[in-house]
Amino acid sequence: MNFKKELSILFATMFLVMVGFGIIIPVMPFYAEEMGASPTQLGLLMATYSFMQLIFAPMWGRISDRIGRKPVIIIGILGLAMSFLFMALSTQLWMLFAARIIGGFLSAANMPTIMAYVADITSEENRGKGMGIIGAAVGLGFVFGPAIGGVFSQFSLSMPFYVATIAAFITSLLVFFLLKESLSPESRAERASKKTSLRNELKGSRSILFYLQLFVSLSLAGLEATFAYFAAERAGLGPVQLGYIFMIMGLAGAIVQGGLVGRLTKKYGEGTVIQIGITVSAVGFGFILFIDNFTTAAIFLSIFGIGNGLIRPSVSSLITKQSATGYGSSTGLLSSFDSLGRILGPPLGGFLFTFAIGLPYISGIFLSVVAFILYRFYVVQSKRAVDEQS
């Protein structure tokens, strides 16, 4: 299998998936409010998707270990297209909820299966590079998606959902015709014979890495939920300026993941890169407290984005290298922990913000310290396990 060719197809696939997802972000609040959604109902509508991902990502990862990656990726993308179309056709709030539930359930297949595919086709030496490229695709998709959605929303609030449907459908055709299956029939049969469970996946020192990712995701989600209010209060920044700031941060993170993660993990190993990423993220959180204009907001948020961009691909690479039950099971569980952080992060950040506007970022420093300590504990536990075996 041509590693570079397949990776470029996966990059395009994940980019288009995230563009489609990002297209609906600017209009979703207004679209839901048009159907009578209260702020609380809007929050539940957004959380429903992540909750479905939390529950079903591990299941889809295990299924991809048994039947192959390609069919599961196609199911995930078509599920996303279906949910976008249902949202476009919705006339009542319950229909939007139904669409989000269906979309969350089926599209939970995308991220873990694509990461498992990367693990299938890369050597351990190039694993970090592969995971970084997928992370870059996600970041760039989130940069361009909302901008495209904002443009099409000028025609009607439902138009971005139709555009997202078309983007997802085209992506499914790209996968169907160009992407080859990465698991041989023998590999599928072997993995189907193995019993995998949540308990098995969370055994040993490797389980610490899942909790590390939870704390990282928790801190990021808290920042995303409160930064608009913080920047408006401290620097008088409006929605347009915030859009540019998040775009700059997204580009910085994508460049790091696409070009730097692979080189750093190859030279120093995933563990060192994870620790650097956590440290830089913590520094970024500290700098955010001193934002006073557009320039400082863009620079300090980008510092955080660079640090955060180093962590996820490195954690994914390290976890798959130690997988004993199948890459899909491992990446599915990692996606589930990521979703849990995204569910808990916004209400936690909002709650802290009501006490003091800088508290979500001080807590971000604290969560980064916890993540760093967890990694050091992982190192100790791994070393102890090796000593016991020898």
pLDDT digits over 69-101, tens only? 999 999 999 999 999 999 999 999 999 999 999
Indicate if the pLDDT at residue 109 is higher than 80. yes
State the pLDDT at residue 37: 83
> Above 80 in pLDDT, residue 147?
yes
Checking if the pLDDT of 58 tops 60, the result is: yes
**The pLDDT value given to residue 191:** 61
What is the reported pLDDT for 265?
93
**Per-residue confidence band for 385, with pLDDT thresholds at 50, 70 and 90:** confident
Cα(390)–Cα(223) distance, rounded to whole angstroms? 44
Q: Choose between 205 and 82: higher pLDDT.
A: 82
pLDDT of residue 202: 66
Q: Output the pLDDT for position 185.
A: 77
pLDDT at site 39: 72
Write down the pLDDT at residue 324. Answer: 66
* Rounded average pLDDT over 99-113: 93
Asked if residue 197 has pLDDT above 80, the reply is no
Mean pLDDT (whole number) for 93-118: 93
* pLDDT score recorded for residue 27: 84
The model's pLDDT over 312-323, given as tens digits with 9 standing for 90+, comes to 999 999 999 887
Mind listing the pLDDT tens digit for each residue in 212-270? 999 999 999 899 888 888 998 999 988 778 888 888 998 999 999 988 899 999 999 99
Residue with the bigger pLDDT between 341 and 21: it is 341
List the domains of the chain with CATH numbers.
3-177+185-389 (1.20.1250.20)
Check residues 191 and 210 and name the one with the higher pLDDT. Answer: 210
Report whether pLDDT(173) > 90.
Answer: yes
pLDDT at residue 201 tops 70: no
Q: What is the predicted pLDDT for the residue at 192?
A: 57
The pLDDT of residue 188 is 67
**To 10 degrees, what angle do helices 3-23 and 159-178 make?**
170
60: nearest Cα among 99, 114, 20, 10: 114
- Whether the full predicted model's pTM is greater than 0.75, yes or no, is yes
CB-CB neighbours of 247 under 10 Å: 16
How large a percentage of the chain has pLDDT more than 90? Answer: 59
Minimum mean pLDDT range among 95-109, 137-151, 196-210, 369-383: 196-210
pLDDT confidence of residue 193: 58
Mean pLDDT rounded to a whole number for the chain? 89
The per-residue pLDDT for range 13-42, each reduced to its tens digit, is 999 888 887 888 778 878 888 888 887 787
